[in-house]
Amino acid sequence: MHKQYLLTPGPTPLPPQVQEALGRPIIHHRTAEYRALFKRVQQGLQTVVQTTQPVVVFTSSGTGAMEASVCNLLSPGETAVVILGGKFAERWKDLCAAYEVKVIPISVSYGEAVDPQQVREALKAHPEASAVFSTLCETSTGVVHDMQTIGSIVRETNAVLVVDAISGLLADECRTEAWGIDALVSGSQKGLMLPPGLAFLSLSPKAWKRAEAAKSPRYYFDMRAYKKALVDDDTPYTSSVSLVVALDAALQAILAEGVEAFLKRSALLANATRAGIQAMGLKLFAKRPSNGVTAVRAPEGVDTKKLVKQIQDRYQVTLAGGQGEMAGKVFRIAHMGYIGAFDLLVALASVELSLIELGASVTPGQGLKAFQGLIGAR
Ligand SMILES: *Cc1c(COP(=O)(O)O)cnc(C)c1O
């Protein structure tokens, strides 16, 4: 039996207080006890999402909240601008197609961030656009887009800004209300340190107006039902009680540290990971790198599918490979949620050792030294 290390950008490792909460006896969701807990969870989610608006909780993976934002904010035949540049951004395009929304794509090369001026131009050319869809952190490339500037552009128009922050929340700065994000989508299994199974969607007043009027078919994901139930700290359908109890435990841990401090720690770990990778002689894939995940280009002659498998098989360290077109070309190390500095030292060491085993010219210890140089107390 070997100790396992999980460093993927979802699911992420669980802190002990979350694991403990998951093992508690189940309680009934239509009780005063549960409603008090759900109310506290609601306040915690608002702090994390940085909004005064309700944060609706769905029992689904993150994609459920992505789907909810499409079917609640748009009607068939409407137009949306979609910022591309990775596998998750492409999901917005597919969801729009499923709901018969016309897509105006903004193409972005993998590894690059969108130039916010392209969003301004797309909205000028398509004043009929009702929404702009983007990712905050594009987990497949490790890029974080400049949502503050994009928000300042979209808020001057009739369009709503919809942001997939499933991996970005609690890793990259995301001032939902202050930046003018109209729909903030997230999920449980990344920065929030929970198992997969919960999705979150928070709407601005501008977006709620659209949700009242949209004509797309919707039932389980109809935001109006959740808003109505929230008045009594309740949910329209059975809550995923154990996951919400665990969410309460996770939020209490996050709030005890403070959202700012939590983000600062992610930034420090991300920075040190990037330094470690570069000190090994490897190159970062993202031009504007996220603090949630580091995507690394394969060194000459190394297939990252082989590298990730080698690291798993020999060292029981789970990293992520590349997705889609990036398969074999990049590997990814997450530094979000409960992943700490010493987990990352393990990850970097396993990368160094495995690269050497695969014949790459890496001097052992270089990456670790650079990482420690940034992490240690000064
Ligand atoms: C993980 C992730 C998703 C996927 O969500 P599911 O929980 O698998 O439905 C979507 N978008 C981004 C940016 C992600 O990182």
Q: What pLDDT digit, counting tens, does each position of 252-300 carry? A: 999 999 999 999 999 999 999 999 999 999 999 999 999 999 999 989 8
Residue 149: pLDDT band with limits 50, 70, 90: very high
CA geometry: angle at 8 spanning 89 and 38, to 5°?
A: 80
| 172 in the same domain as 24 | yes
Does position 378 have pLDDT exceeding 70, yes or no? no
Mean pLDDT value of segment 297-321: 96
Closest-lying ligand 1 atom to the alpha carbon of residue 196: 7
* Distance from the alpha carbon of residue 67 to the mean position of ligand 1, in angstroms: 12
| Cα angle 296-193-229, degrees, rounded to a multiple of 5 | 130
Q: How far, in Å, is the centroid of ligand 1 from the Cα of 289? A: 18
Q: Is the same domain home to 307 and 169? A: no
Residues 274 and 147 in one domain: no
Q: Which of 166, 188, 194 to mutate to test the pocket of ligand 1 (most atoms within 8 A of CB)?
A: 166
For residue 251, give the 3-state DSSP assignment: helix
- Same domain? For 248 and 270 the reply is no
- Give the integer Cα–Cα distance in Å for 190 and 290: 13
Same domain? For 241 and 268 the reply is: no
Entry pTM = 0.98
Indicate whether 31 and 84 sit together in one domain: yes
Please report, for the domain that includes residue 67, its CATH number. Answer: 3.40.640.10
Across 345-355, average pLDDT: 98
Which residue's CA is the closest to the ligand 1 atom numbered 15? 167
With the most atoms of ligand 1 within 8 angstroms of its CB, the residue from 8, 59, 60, 63 to mutate is 63
Encode pLDDT of 17-53 as tens digits. 999 999 999 999 999 999 999 999 999 999 999 999 9
Residue 118: count of CB within 10 angstroms of its CB: 16
Domain boundary among 257, 279, 294: 257
Q: Compute the distance from residue 85 Cα to the ligand 1 centre, in Å.
A: 15
What percentage of the chain exceeds 70 in pLDDT? 99
Distances (CA, A) of 39 to 54, 219, 282, 373: 11, 24, 47, 43
Supply angle C-alpha 261, 149, 83, rounded to 5.
Answer: 105
Give the β-pairing of 160-164 and 129-135: parallel
Cα 206 to middle of ligand 1, angstroms: 25
At residue 192, does pLDDT exceed 90? yes
pLDDT above 90: residue 208: yes
User: From ligand 1's centre to the CA of 294, what distance in Å?
Assistant: 16
118-135 average pLDDT score: 98
Cβ count near 378 (within 10 Å): 5
Ligand 1 center–CA 63 separation, angstroms: 6
pLDDT at 244: 98
Q: Which of 183, 188, 352, 230 is nearest to 282 (CA)?
A: 352
Taking the alpha carbons of 9, 296, 285, 144 in that order, is the dihedral positive or negative? positive
Report helix, strand or coil for 29. coil
In a mutational test of the pocket of ligand 1, which residue from 57, 58, 139 has the highest number of ligand atoms less than 8 Å from its CB? 139
pLDDT at 175 over 80: yes
Pocket of ligand 1, beta carbon within 6 A: 9-10, 61-63, 88, 135, 139, 164, 166-167, 187, 196
Q: In the chain, what is the greatest distance between 2 CA atoms, to the nearest angstrom?
A: 62
Selection from 323, 272, 263 nearest residue 294 by Cα? 272
DSSP designation for 14: P
Q: Do 48 and 135 lie in a common domain?
A: yes
The answer to whether 232 and 86 are in contact (CB under 8 A) is no
Same domain for 112 and 246, yes or no, is yes
Chain Cα centroid distance, residue 304: 23
Atom of ligand 1 nearest to the CA of 167: 15
Residue 327 sits in which domain range? Answer: 5-10+258-376
DSSP secondary structure, 100-159, as one string: T-EEEEE---TTPPPPHHHHHHHHHH-TTEEEEEEESEETTTTEE--HHHHHHHHTTSSP
Instruction: Give the residue, by CA position, lying nearest to ligand 1 atom 6.
Output: 62
**Given 257, 286, 305, which residue is the final one in a domain?**
257
**Which of 58, 94, 167 for a ligand 1 pocket mutation test, highest count of atoms within 8 Å of Cβ?**
167
**Quick one: which atom of ligand 1 is closest to the CA of 136?**
13
Residue partners of 209: CB distance under 8 A and separation at least 6:
none
Rounded CA gap, 88 and 66, in Å? 10
pLDDT at 252: 98
Span from the CA of 370 to the centroid of ligand 1 (angstroms): 31
Residues 199, 57 share a domain? yes
Clarify whether residues 56 and 164 are in a common domain: yes
Is the pLDDT at 249 greater than 80, yes or no?
yes
Contact 298, 306 (CB under 8 A): no
Tell me what the pLDDT averaged over the chain comes to. Answer: 97
- Residue 276: give its domain's CATH number: 3.90.1150.10
How many domains are there within the chain? 2
Looking at residue 141, its pLDDT comes to 98
Specify the pLDDT at position 312: 98
15-21 long-range CB contacts below 8 Å, 24 or more apart?
A: 15/193, 15/250, 15/253, 15/338, 17/249, 17/250, 17/252, 17/253, 18/193, 18/194, 18/246, 18/249, 18/250, 18/253, 20/249, 21/242, 21/245, 21/246, 21/248, 21/249
Residue 207 CA, ligand 1 centroid: distance in Å: 22
Q: How far is the CA of 87 from the centre of ligand 1 (A)?
A: 10
84 and 173 belong to one structural domain? yes
- Mean pLDDT of the 150-170 span: 98
Judge if 280 and 345 occupy the same domain.
yes
Cβ–Cβ under 8 Å, residues 252 and 346: no
pLDDT at site 102 = 98
Residue 373 CA, ligand 1 centroid: distance in Å: 33
Query: Kind of pairing, strands 79-83 and 129-135?
Result: parallel
